[in-house]
Structure 1
Amino acid sequence: MTTPDEDHTGHGPDRTPPADLDAERAVLGSMAIARTAVLDVVEVLDGIKQPFHEPRHEQIFNTMLALYASGRALDPITLTNQLQQQGELDRIGGPAYIHELVNAVPTAAHAAHYAEILRDLALLRAVISTGTDLVQMGYQARANHDTAAHIVDTAAANLQQLTAAAKGGTDTREWMLDRVVDAVLDEYDNPRDDVLPLPWADLQSVAPMEPGDLVVIAGRPAMGKSLVLLGIGRHVSITHRRGCLISSMEMSHVQMGQRLVAAEARVPLHGLRARTLNPQQYTAVREARDRIRRSPLRIDDTPAVPVSRWRRRLRQLQANNELPAALIVDYLQIAKAETKAQNRVIEVDSIAVGLKALAQEFKIVVIAAAQLNRVSEHRTDKTPTLSDLRESGGIENNANIVILLHRDDYYDRESRRAGEFDFIVAKNRMGHNATVTAAWQGHYARIVDMEET
């Protein structure tokens, strides 16, 4: 009776890395006798790291590619001379081995077929290597002060890379200039429909939010950050029926739900909480509930969330074809760093970098609230500036758009601007800075365009 670690012969499993040295020699021989075989092989092996198991074959392959790229002749003589100049000829077996490679195949017609064999075997070796690395990370996690979430995220990222390679090469981001300018004109003639819809028309025109953007909404406590984020989420999902995931680390889902219902139903928030709505208002609440339930809006109130958790959740939604148009984070400075750093500034910077990476990786808009420090409150003019961002310069550096929030009547109840709410676009990587004024309707948990008042 064999054990699970034994094969049918009674011996342990074969631990030899999968490889086919004959196929490797056939690929190199094909390239040496026919220059046209080079492109056939490169096309198949594109995106594969270390397609050759035999180190000297990898060296010969790289030398052949260098000769081809330089426009020089590629044949057994030039290959031998180049290896000699590099001091590698004796190490790979001398001129006799080059001659052996040439004789390994009668024709170069099947170069792509041999390359396919190498591709499959290289992927299998990569799977083995990735699995071994992850096992070691698991055993050494505590010694390295690593978290299970980070290891799982690393595993998912590595497997995603293997999946991309198995499906046919790298996800190249190189573009010819003619395609770039064509894309610009196509966008001008046919406006893109993936710009995130905002509930404030003037802000939409000044600072359109596009997939890949990290947008930071910053303000002092009680200035309205959560209402801005909820207003965006409500408009995206309920009005435009596009997915939105709100990660609320500061308020519970019940508190978020109360604000959401009050804003959508246009009823007083305090009346909803105190259960003092009149019959007409209660009817509006029930109708709002039905609209909200039909929307693709999700709220997660898990506290102290690290970036890796958001990445895993987005991958799950992507696998189910439910990737949201936006991830909304409330708020950035109370998110959890993946690893403990020397100080909180470094940790917050790493969180900002991680959020920007999420936006680019999943091609969504990531909107994160951020806290401002108290400096602005000690100035005569209470208007905030970029330098007031708390605990981090990395937030400003990584953000495509930074919007500062300000209400003059928060500091002066007798202000002539009572009821006005300022969106101060302080950084706008693809546009100009400006201040957009809206109307504050805090009793309805809403901020609306001035025209709606």
Structure 2
Amino acid sequence: MEYLEPKNHEAEEALVGAFFLDETLIKDCTIRPDQLHSWELRKIYSAIRSLDDKGRPIDVITVVEELGIPTLQTIGGVSYLNRLAGSVPTTANFHFYEKLVKEYHQKRKTIQIASKMIEQAKSSEITKTLSDGIQELMEVGDEHDEEESSDIKSALVELYGECEKDYGEMVGVPSGFSHLDKMTCGFQKSDLIILGARPSIGKTAFALNVAVNAAIQDVSLFFSLEMPKIQLMKRILCLSGNINSIKMKNPQKEFEDKDWEHFSKTIGKMSNINLHIFDRAGMNVSYIWSKVRKMRKQYGEQKRIMVVIDYLQLIKGDPVHKQNRQAEISEISRALKTMARELNVVVIALSQLSRGVESREDKRPILSDLRESGQIEQDADLIAFLYRDDYYTRDTTQKDSMEIILAKHRNGPTGTVKLGFNKEYGQFVDLEGYVVI
């Protein structure tokens, strides 16, 4: 099926013709040559932009010289340029024409993407077709968003209004752990938070604790690339209902009456919290973004949303960077930060650490231990590492505890918080009398 491409030739002519009337307009114009439908006007507009880049005046004579005789003849000659230059009586409506040109370009791009999706849907995997198509449509929408105002007056009014609100002690999404929340004031919307640890330290367990705590008042989205939903739910029921995780492996055989009671109560409690789990293998950023956007639309701006991704290195990257894992991870990291800002959500991405930790006497992680750390470290607003002394030292005095090391905190202090860790339940708790260091 073929579609007629939407176009507004008059608006494009008025846009390009306006530069002959007022050449300073080119400085403010945000239109790209490829956004014009008419190839003749694209050639003329490109010549005008080239003249501006060279610091030369813009008029019929200079445009003729910039185009060259062969090109000039294909677009209608000097007579067409003269007609174009004389067709615009005023530049008062220039920005209206500019907006029209952008809108028609947006319509054409949307039709092209939709047409491609129709063809791909006939033969390709439908989930990939939808995921890629949604991402491309989002990019079209973002590209053509109205240019935001740089005026600070509205921001000052908004700031004044924010300062009049009483948020209590918790500005962001609470983690559920008082000492950690004191350092962060809760996890802040639009922040990218990296949670790093070596395997088997307890990243997923801690992330589940935080996600469940947040979902009681706010909304938590948990993207698991490593573990199926049913396994995660078992762990959630254990940590929330004080149920032994070993017994949970075979409840029919191992559960006692009190376990069944805790199990039933916890299922009832969990059914009332705002927790959503996505466990599709091989997720890419487009898939994650589409689900978060859908949830933002469902809950509106009134609800704070926390997005937890377990874990960063398992996200499927762009095949273009298949041979360069560092470039692939860098692109994923930037995309997650952009998602946090644009959808106004907290993003917590779990991350594996390099084996360099194991070679040091002090096994506490540092920033350079992050795999592909350069871009991740730059994009993250907060980087926290998990450390358990009893994981490395069997006879330690620091048993059943976890250090949360805030190694980077763009908008607050760094330091270490210690939590109690009950391995039986996979549950974290505040330690009484503990002082943040």
TM normalised by structure 1 equals 0.73
The counterpart of 1:196, out of the listed 151, 164, 173, is 173
Equivalent AA in structure 1 for residue 83 of structure 2: E
Determine the C-alpha separation between the residues in 1 that align with 2:293 and 2:204: 25
* C-alpha distance after superposition, 1:205-257 (max 9, x if no partner): 3234222322121122222111110011101112x1x2212122333323221
Alpha-carbon RMSD across the aligned residues, in angstroms, is: 4.6
Q: Quick check: 1:257 aligned with 2:237?
A: no
Q: Quick check: 1:384 aligned with 2:365?
A: yes
Q: In the alignment, is the contact (CA less than 8 A) between 2:60 and 2:85 conserved in 1?
A: no
Cα distance change on mapping 1:134 and 1:194 into 2, 3 Å? farther
The counterpart of 1:248, out of the listed 206, 224, 227, is 224
Partner of 1:336 in structure 2? Answer: 316
Q: Name the stretch that deviates more: 217-226 or 130-139.
A: 130-139
Q: In the alignment, is the contact (CA less than 8 A) between 1:401 and 1:425 conserved in 2?
A: yes
Q: Name the stretch that deviates more: 299-308 or 23-32.
A: 23-32
Q: In the alignment, is the contact (CA less than 8 A) between 1:49 and 1:122 conserved in 2?
A: no
Runs of 5+ in structure 2 lacking a partner? Answer: none
Determine the C-alpha separation between the residues in 2 that align with 1:385 and 1:49: 47
Partner of 1:444 in structure 2? Answer: 425
Partner of 1:298 in structure 2? Answer: 276
Equivalent AA in structure 1 for residue 276 of structure 2: R
Q: In the alignment, is the contact (CA less than 8 A) between 2:195 and 2:384 conserved in 1?
A: yes
Determine the C-alpha separation between the residues in 1 that align with 2:250 and 2:197: 28
Q: Quick check: 1:434 aligned with 2:418?
A: no
The counterpart of 2:183, out of the listed 206, 214, 226, is 206
Q: Secondary structure at the match of 2:147?
A: coil
Determine the C-alpha separation between the residues in 1 that align with 2:220 and 2:316: 21
* C-alpha distance after superposition, 1:128-149 (max 9, x if no partner): 54457768999999xxxxx986
Q: In the alignment, is the contact (CA less than 8 A) between 2:11 and 2:101 conserved in 1?
A: yes
Partner of 2:245 in structure 1? Answer: 269
Equivalent AA in structure 2 for residue 414 of structure 1: D
Determine the C-alpha separation between the residues in 1 that align with 2:171 and 2:340: 13
**Deviation for aligned residue 1:126:** 3.1
Q: Secondary structure at the match of 2:288?
A: helix
Percent identical among aligned pairs is 24
Count of aligned pairs between the two proteins: 422
**Deviation for aligned residue 1:152:** 4.4
The counterpart of 2:383, out of the listed 391, 398, 402, is 402
Of structures 1 and 2, the larger Rg is shown by 1
Alignment of 1:165-176 (within 5 A): 169-173=144-148, 175-176=150-151
* C-alpha distance after superposition, 1:150-197 (max 9, x if no partner): 6644422332344567xxx52435533455555555545546787222
Partner of 2:38 in structure 1? Answer: 54
Determine the C-alpha separation between the residues in 2 that align with 1:406 and 1:14: 59
**Deviation for aligned residue 1:32:** 6.8
Partner of 1:326 in structure 2? Answer: 306
* C-alpha distance after superposition, 1:357-401 (max 9, x if no partner): 432343322212222344434433332222333465443333222
Q: Secondary structure at the match of 1:235?
A: helix
Determine the C-alpha separation between the residues in 2 that align with 1:229 and 1:20: 52
Q: Secondary structure at the match of 1:437?
A: strand
Cα distance change on mapping 1:107 and 1:187 into 2, 3 Å? closer
**Deviation for aligned residue 1:294:** 1.4
Q: In the alignment, is the contact (CA less than 8 A) between 2:225 and 2:281 conserved in 1?
A: yes
Equivalent AA in structure 2 for residue 429 of structure 1: R
Determine the C-alpha separation between the residues in 2 that align with 1:28 and 1:412: 73
Cα distance change on mapping 1:60 and 1:326 into 2, 3 Å? same
Runs of 5+ in structure 1 lacking a partner? Answer: 6-12, 142-146
Equivalent AA in structure 2 for residue 342 of structure 1: Q
Q: Quick check: 1:358 aligned with 2:339?
A: yes
Q: Secondary structure at the match of 2:376?
A: helix
Determine the C-alpha separation between the residues in 2 that align with 1:14 and 1:268: 61
**Deviation for aligned residue 1:434:** 0.4
Partner of 1:9 in structure 2? Answer: none
TM normalised by structure 2 equals 0.75
Partner of 1:420 in structure 2? Answer: 401
Determine the C-alpha separation between the residues in 1 that align with 2:14 and 2:354: 66
Q: In the alignment, is the contact (CA less than 8 A) between 1:425 and 1:433 conserved in 2?
A: yes
Q: Secondary structure at the match of 1:197?
A: coil
Determine the C-alpha separation between the residues in 1 that align with 2:194 and 2:127: 25
Determine the C-alpha separation between the residues in 1 that align with 2:77 and 2:418: 77
* C-alpha distance after superposition, 1:26-84 (max 9, x if no partner): 56668877x7xx89xx9xx977875643345456668899999xxxx9xxxx8446646
**Deviation for aligned residue 1:125:** 3.2
Cα distance change on mapping 1:132 and 1:199 into 2, 3 Å? same
Q: In the alignment, is the contact (CA less than 8 A) between 2:386 and 2:405 conserved in 1?
A: yes
The counterpart of 1:126, out of the listed 109, 114, 124, is 109
Q: Name the stretch that deviates more: 306-315 or 81-90.
A: 81-90
